[in-house]
Amino acid sequence: MANEAYMLALKDTLDSMTNSFSNIRNAVIFNENGDVIATDNNTSEDTAVRTVDALDEILDKTDLLDSLENIVLEGTEGWLKVSRFDDLYLVTTFSTRANLGQASALADVLVPTVLKVLRRVNLVSVKENLEELEMEHEEPSTHDAKEEQTEPSEKTKSEEHSEDAAEATTKPIVPEPQVNQFIVENLRGLFSPSNTVRVDNDLLLKWKETYPDREVEEVEVATFGGKTVRCKVKPIKEAKFEGKGLIQVHEKTLSTLGIKKGELVRVKPVIE
């Protein structure tokens, strides 16, 4: 199933919720990175993004991040509920607390059911596509195979050898991954996966220049005690942490490495 169809189905689900309960002002679905996946008709993308940022900032100051499944927050103009469904989050805002329980019960059943159906349909589509490709690339008949098994001429072999040699000669040399040292800073936030670290964007740009033919999406983080982990890498969001030689690491990863905030680690890009 195409992404557009997937998001449209989720949007229709959110519209059904808001139509069923007029008390619901907004309904938004995000992924773990804070990307907006779907909104109802009443919610603009700008409103959804601002909601994500505000929610992330609020929960960053609490101890609910790692164990968050469902949470209800009271604001000056209404109520906000966050529900987690695997790798997605549903955020709904209410004008009053009335019907909050009923709407939450509906969402807790409707959204995961729709997600399950969508993912099942998506898997079926992928399987059908693979079967079609296999049929298109069936083995040739015995007669065709015999014709294709003719021995290449000496001239053809020589030309292939020359092409291989030329390709090996012109293949670019990839520089050895550069090792950097950073001071550890805690990485917190609702949309901060435990398998991701954050470094200065200037360093990411430098890696992009150094390895123009590679996408540096992961780094290896090593302690001076010899422990290492491999993590995805993203730029630091907060301006106050930029340019200070810091690497933001999730608490789960710090626990795995056996280190804490303020310690030094070695970091190098994963080049494949």
The whole-angstrom separation of Cα 248 and Cα 188 is 8
Mean pLDDT of 20-33: 83
Domain boundary residue, one of 83, 100, 120: 120
Answer whether residue 133 is part of any domain.
no
Answer whether residue 246 is part of any domain.
yes
Answer whether residue 175 is part of any domain.
no
- Output the pLDDT for position 25: 85
CATH number of domain containing 199: 2.40.40.20
CA dihedral 224, 229, 233, 236 (to 10 degrees): -50
Answer whether residue 91 is part of any domain.
yes
CA 118 to chain centroid, in Å, comes to 19
Asked if pLDDT for residue 182 goes beyond 60, the answer is: yes
Same domain for 83 and 191: no
- Only one residue has tokens 């939450």, namely 104
- Only one residue has tokens 């070695």, namely 266
CA dihedral 256, 261, 263, 266 (to 10 degrees): 60
Tokens (6 digits) for 134: 């296999």
Answer whether residue 65 is part of any domain.
yes
Domain boundary residue, one of 120, 149, 168: 120
Answer whether residue 143 is part of any domain.
no
Characterize the bridge pairing of strands 196-199 and 218-222.
unpaired
pLDDT per position as a tens digit, 127-180: 455 455 555 555 555 555 455 555 555 555 555 655 555 554 555 566 677 889
Same domain for 114 and 195: no
Range of the domain at 80: 3-120
Domain boundary residue, one of 120, 139, 160: 120
* Single pTM value for the model: 0.49
pLDDT per position as a tens digit, 83-120: 888 778 888 888 877 667 777 777 778 888 888 887 77
Backbone angles phi, psi at 212, to 5 degrees: -65, -25
Characterize the bridge pairing of strands 36-39 and 24-31.
antiparallel
- Which amino acid is residue 85, in one-letter code? F
